[in-house]
Amino acid sequence: MFFKPGLFGVAFAVLSASITHADPLMSEGQKVLACIEASAEIHHLPSGLLLTLLRVEAGELGKVSQNKNRTVDIGPMQINDSWVHKIARHWGASDAETYRALRDNFCANVAGGGWILRQTLDEAKGDIWEGVALYHSHTPVHKVRYLHQVLHHLHALQKEAQVSSRNSGS
CA–CA distance, 92 with 104 (Å, rounded to integer): 18
Q: What's the pLDDT score for residue 1?
A: 40
pLDDT category at 5 given cuts 50, 70, 90 is: very low
Range with the lowest mean pLDDT among 19-28, 70-79, 130-139, 149-158? 19-28
CA–CA distance, 103 with 92 (Å, rounded to integer): 17
Query: Is domain 7-169 given the CATH code 1.10.530 in the classification?
Result: yes
Range with the lowest mean pLDDT among 19-23, 37-41, 130-134? 19-23
pLDDT at 137 over 80: yes
pLDDT digits (tens, 9 = 90+) for 55-113: 999 999 999 999 999 999 999 999 999 999 999 999 999 999 999 999 999 999 999 99
Is pLDDT larger for residue 95 or for residue 29? 95
pLDDT at 19 over 70: no
Query: Using an 8 Å Cβ cutoff, are 98 and 84 in contact?
Result: yes
Query: What's the whole-number mean pLDDT along residues 17-37?
Result: 70
pLDDT at 37 over 80: yes
Entry pTM: 0.81
Q: What's the pLDDT score for residue 56?
A: 95
* Torsion angle defined by CA atoms of residues 123, 124, 130 and 134, in that order, rounded to the nearest 10 degrees: -10
CA distance between the termini of the chain: 46
CA–CA distance, 18 with 95 (Å, rounded to integer): 24
The one-character DSSP state at 71 is: -
Where do the structural domains in the chain lie, given as residue ranges?
Answer: 7-169
